Amino acid sequence: MSGRESVLIVLKVAFVALIACTAAAQAEECPRKDALGTARVLVVDPATYPRVGVQSFPQSLPLQDHEIVLTFDDGPNPPTTTKVLAALAHECVKATFFLIGQSAAAHPDLVKRIAAEGHSIGHHSWAHPDLKKIDHAQALAQIDRGIAADEMALYGRASTVPTTPFFRFPYFSSTPALLDVLQSRGIAVFGADFWASDWNKMTPDQELKLISDRVKAAGKGIILFHDTKAQTAAMMPDFLRFLRENNYRIVHVVAPAPGKTVQRMP
């Protein structure tokens, strides 16, 4: 065996041990031994993954079979977001919330709660317009104002440099110019791999069947929900139970560690 091969084996063993230790630590943090839990944490570096979600872009995140990323748009909305948070907490699951700036400004305590409970905070514009249907300068202002409002709710200071450089376009409606600007700033754009279609009127049971069927068909991926929808909040405990009973694993996406420079919007 060569010296190089020996080094590779040592690195692989160390990597496996690190994953095992991480999983054990996460399991110990959850008071319910039978909870779904968060299987692993995935650091999403915008330099490597500037745009993800196969419904909009060529690539998604590097997920294994039966791995699911939970994302929620359009909050916070106290009557429903609090129910979603309770369901996630009961199963010791972490998700990513893409916030509307004006809602964050109206409910800063709830924004702080989302972050305090370990979820990632992404950005979703100030007022949820279709950014493809307004001029470029207005679209940039919507993005900046939304980020600043989210940062103000979280930290008491307005900044157009997001602490978590994740953005999702309202309606997934982008332009090449806007995508280029966000990439130049080091902000990852999230699409989705599939969704619950919860913008349509349906019962919680109907939504549960729809999204469960889509999970089984896709096998893995980034799911889009809306934490502002009553039927989504109502069905979330049952959906998480479905994932647990069918051996799906939750992946929590987080930003790179501090130290990377995110450029301001030109």
**Is residue 73 annotated as part of the catalytic site, yes or no?**
yes
More confident call, 155 vs 259 = 155
* Residue ranges per structural domain of the chain: 1-30, 36-254
User: Residue range 163-176: average pLDDT?
Assistant: 98
**Is residue 124 annotated as part of the catalytic site, yes or no?**
no
- Which tokens hold the place of 11? 């690195």
Residue pLDDT, tens place only, 115-160? 999 999 999 999 999 999 999 999 999 999 999 999 999 999 999 9
pLDDT at 257: 87
Residue pLDDT, tens place only, 67-114? 999 999 999 999 999 999 999 999 999 999 999 999 999 999 999 999
Question: Under 8 Å CB-to-CB from 213, ≥6 apart: which residues?
Answer: none
Closest among 114, 87, 75, 63 to 198, alpha carbons compared: 75
Confidence of residue 259 (pLDDT cuts 50, 70, 90): low
Give the least confident one: 30-34, 227-231, 240-244: 30-34
Residue pLDDT, tens place only, 201-219? 999 999 999 999 999 999 9
Percent of the chain with pLDDT over 70: 86
pLDDT at 21: 37
pLDDT at 4: 43
Residue 260 has pLDDT above 60, yes or no: no
Give the least confident one: 29-33, 240-244, 251-255: 29-33
Q: In the CATH hierarchy, which fold is given to the domain comprising 36-254?
A: TIM Barrel (3.20.20)
Among the listed residues 107, 119, 128, 226, the single catalytic one is 226
CA separation for the pair 178, 164 (Å, rounded): 18
DSSP for residue 172: G
Among the listed residues 73, 74, 144, 193, the single catalytic one is 73
Residue 40's beta-bridge partner residues? 251
Mean pLDDT across the chain: 89
Residue 230 has pLDDT above 50, yes or no: yes
pLDDT at 135: 97
Q: Residue 172, by phi and psi: left (phi above 0), alpha (psi -120 to 50) or beta?
A: left
pTM score, whole prediction: 0.87
Residue 261 has pLDDT above 50, yes or no: no
Residue 20 has pLDDT above 50, yes or no: no
User: Residue range 41-56: average pLDDT?
Assistant: 97
- Report, in this order, helix, strand and coil percent for the chain, each rounded to 5: 45, 15, 40
Q: Are 162 and 150 in contact (CB under 8 A)?
A: yes
CA separation for the pair 76, 95 (Å, rounded): 14
Give the least confident one: 7-21, 34-48, 109-123: 7-21
CA separation for the pair 66, 248 (Å, rounded): 5
